[in-house]
Amino acid sequence: MPNRALASLLLITLTSVTAMAQSASPVHQPKLTPQNSATTSNLIAVSPVNDRVVWASGRNGIFAVTTNGGDTWKAGVVRGAESLELRDVQGISATTAYVLSIGPEPSDFRIYKTEDGGANWAVQFRNQIFGAFYDCFAFWTPERGIAVSDSVNGTFPNLRTSDGKTWENIGKNMPPALQNEGSFASSGTCIAKQAANDAWIVTGNATTARVLATHDGGNTWSASNTPFASSQAAGAFSVAFRDAQNGMIGGGDLNPKNGNHAATAISHDGGKTWSLTSSPPVMGAVYGLSYLTNTTAVGDHRGAGGAYDHIVVIAANTGAAWSPDEGTSWYSLPDVTGYWGVAFASPQAGWMVGTKGRILKISF
């Protein structure tokens, strides 16, 4: 009798463990579809407007755009930026987009805008501040956005536009910077926006990695500490929010000797406090982070809801992964490496971009 009881208990236990393992497994891995970007230049950032219109940008002044969901892409060069890197791109429509350039000279940090599908680009901003390094930007509407710079002499010379044409320095609105504090371009994901006035910027390169937050369109900002290790070339790299309260950050270290320091953390109070999640199965720093319901397109995007609310995808120095539960469990994307940027228009239409012009469509 005791043996039968023990056998029954063992059977129940094994059944429970099996059920738990099955419930913890993903329903399915996403479908990965390589696409032809029409360029072999490294692509750094990607910005879906919707399921069909997507913009990408990269080195050598390269941009690429599709209007049919990636079945075909058109690539071109921003005139005047042929030797520059386009570190970020913001798609507005099939004809309108912004790009953010960097280069070795202070004046190489520029913001361009096209309104004719990339045939012509107008320079809206040209940096004149020695030491400024503009990493990324984000837009609430086609006319309202913020561009992020590393600190210069204890201040952040960040920019804001209210008309989609001119940019003002809002450094006076920012918290004082820590010594050497700055952001990492991270394929345009060093800043995230939500609703009409919420935005979050992640930093590193100092003694503490922080999140700078505004809830009034950039007029005032607060700073909170993250649990990430921070030092030169290390800290918080990427940020995404699925609504005004719930978000995730990705961090790590660019030092190849610290390749196992990739980390993610979540917040459920608008970015005031952060908690580490399970370690993602990638190496180095998290370059790109995206919720499936948090697209890079402007405006109010509420997402699909339901099962997709908590799914995130990350790209890192080495490898990429996704989580169905905001970092409690992670699943590697097999054979996906060399990609930096990731963004979604919908759960069925996401894109990753990377080296040698590679573009990968992701569908959940």
Rounded mean pLDDT for each run of 10 residues along the chain, 364 residues in total: 34 31 57 97 97 97 98 98 98 98 97 98 98 97 98 98 98 98 96 96 98 98 97 97 96 90 97 98 95 76 69 95 96 94 95 98 96
Q: What was the pLDDT predicted at 307? A: 79
- Listed by start position, the domains of the chain span 31-363
Residue 8 confidence (pLDDT): 35
Residue type, 51: D
> What is the per-residue pLDDT for 187?
95
| Unique residue bearing structure tokens 């948090």 | 294
Evaluate the CA torsion angle 108, 111, 116, 118 in order and state its sign.
Answer: positive
Per-residue pLDDT at 5 = 35
pLDDT value of residue 27:
58
Class of domain 31-363: mainly beta
d(CA 134, CA 136) in angstroms, rounded, equals 6
Amino acid at 316: A
Residue of 332, 296, 290 whose CA lies nearest to 311: 290
Between the CA of residue 194 and those of 81, 200, 341, what are the distances in Å?
30, 9, 19
How much is the pLDDT for 132? Answer: 98
SS3 328: coil
Q: State residue 7's pLDDT score.
A: 34
What gap in Å lies between CA 205 and CA 208, rounded to an integer? Answer: 8
pLDDT in the model for residue 24: 43
pLDDT for residue 199: 98
Between the CA atoms of 170, 125, 295 and 227, what dihedral angle is there, to the nearest 10 degrees?
-50
